[in-house]
A and B are shown apart, each in its own frame.
Chain A
């Protein structure tokens, strides 16, 4: 299995360098392999990518996450060379590759549709890039076999792509790109067509391949869970811009805006009727006539609408409220999902709120009234 292979080969490859989600810390050690500078792409009147700048560290696993139309695929296609930026520069190790066609870039792509050549065997598909670069035949044969072994398809080399399952085709596409030992591997929603179980397996395999081979992975997906699972850093895209750039944990725990809080995981967004800054990074919000303190994010400015964002797993019921930092809620629905029980409630004047109920406690009845609270540091004050 790839898992075992990763263990065995780990000693040969340099150790993973990018456990630190802070980009600055990484880039201080290794210069960025790719730099996107003020990238803009317009299609007629539509601006797909809007003045996007980003440094990508060598060996890191970076994910462009976003809804459809957010510009993530267009950004990837500009890096690959399939789209020419309207303005801006792409640098690879300090040298501009902006005017280069795709075939002159040391970058390979795994396509969403796999794009395997239907008239070639699996082996010929994988060897295509090496043949085009004029690598000697004997070496092509050797490297193709290695690549097929790596994705566990050594026995299927003579097959035609259409004779393979979706998962196998995906692996061929991966081998076809990796056999060229590119500096950067682009992956455009490569797991989108696979079923859930296979997708989970492949997520782990991709992550291990990234660490084992030391190749920079740039991944595009609309699946936030996938992004959280695999990435060193996530660039959350919205309207052609990066809304937040951070490690998965930071993005989950410290969303900078209402959009991010809503996009990543599940979040309760309680609208406040009034909010003011307390000094430092604290804000005081009024929700349902009660005052709550929360961490202010840069997406909110005093005088603008504010929401208090808090994750369902941080909300809990108490027998009596402490000070003013609690909310009365009415239970609307109780849903048992196996690991947790989700309790859906309504908050008068502030919308709905979901909390995760501890498994060891009896769940509340529908229409019951609860008093809920959360640790002050878990609440974030976000703007639109």
Chain B
């Protein structure tokens, strides 16, 4: 080999270029390293911490199942998870009820400015999440727009306080934030339904409602599952909207619990254990959603897109 002559060259880039294996290593190594250092290692640390013991406020590297025992033994923790799931379920149901008809209109009824309308639905996603959460503070607050309007309309005499800093404020904000996420996969699936299928159904004596019930709805279910997974997983793990708008109720959201366990109580092992349980729950849900979608994968191509959609929820959830 002429490695010596090449190694003698001062330019190290030439040295790399001449070696395909080194090149591959660097090319694949960067993203793999990125994921390992920023994602896998933190999870590993988290997982490890959940088995450590906290003695007199100090972390001891002594393996124990104490954290999990406490997690499942104290009603607070399972209740918090259930409460969060309840919030997420309500958000998901309302988001679905809003998103499905809108996606249907966009896919089938809007002819002229369809892309523009779609953008109008999606554009809120470009606005910072924090700004959108704060916007609800302005709308729902005691001096807020809603109270102002209600007073102006003489529906109330005094500003009402229950609007802001309650689980309802959290639910409203989360619905607003996650409805576009629910809409996107449903729209994608509806738009992919060949018009000839609807025509064939009507040709075979099915009314418009029957056509929806027997053809359009079943074919759109993969999108519905993907959309619901989006909004459920994302809103269950949300801690910013509850933190800003939830008041005392926010303490009952699981992500806020984790935040306070880490940041206030300094009980890292217990916080880690709660996180691990949440991770397991989330992945189970994603796996389940993927299973359902694959089972409903009639046409082949469209549902594939949805698989990546659920994958994206996973990534989004992890980013949080």
Contacts and interface: CB of A to CB of B under 8 A. Distances in A.
Given A103-B206, A160-B298, A128 B201 contact: yes
B196 interface: yes
A180 interface: yes
B206 A115 contact: no
A160 B298 CA distance: 8
B138 interface: no
Contacts of B219: 118-119
Interface residues of B, number: 21
A113 B199 contact: no
Contacts, number: 69
Given A162-B298, A162-B300, A129 B205 contact: yes
Contacts of B299: 118, 162
Interface in B278-300: 296, 298-300
A180 B200 CA distance: 13
Interface string A57-81: 0000000000000000000000011
B200 A117 contact: yes
A10 to B, nearest CB: 28
A21 B216 CA distance: 43
A129 B219 CA distance: 18
B157 interface: no
A102 interface: yes
Nearest to A133: B205
Interface of A: 80-82, 101-104, 107-109, 111-113, 115-119, 128-129, 132-133, 160, 162, 176-177, 180
B298 A111 contact: no
Contacts of A109: 199-200, 203
21 contacts: A80-B199, A80-B203, A81-B202, A82-B203, A103-B202, A103-B204, A103-B207, A104-B205, A108-B204, A111-B200, A112-B196, A113-B194, A113-B196, A118-B219, A118-B299, A119-B219, A119-B296, A128-B201, A128-B204, A162-B298, A180-B205
Residue from the set B194, B197, B202, B207 with the largest chain A CB neighbour count within 10 Å: B202
A160 B215 CA distance: 15
A187 to B, nearest CB: 12
A115 B196 contact: yes
Nearest to A186: B203
Contacts of A81: 202-203
Contacts of A111: 196, 199-200
A82 B203 CA distance: 9
A99 to B, nearest CB: 15
A176 B194 contact: no
Contacts of B202: 81-82, 101-103
B41 to A, nearest CB: 43
Interface string B194-227: 1011011111111100100011001100000000
Nearest to B200: A115
Contacts of B218: 119
A82 B204 contact: no
B196 A118 contact: no
Nearest to A80: B203
Nearest to A105: B203
Contacts of A132: 201, 204-207, 210, 214
Contacts of B203: 80-82, 102-103, 107-109, 177
B300 to A, nearest CB: 6
B199 A82 contact: yes
A334 to B, nearest CB: 47
Q: Top 6 nearest A-B pairs by Cβ distance?
A: A129-B204, A118-B298, A115-B196, A115-B200, A132-B205, A102-B202
Contacts of A180: 204-205
Interface string B217-249: 011000000000000000000000000000000
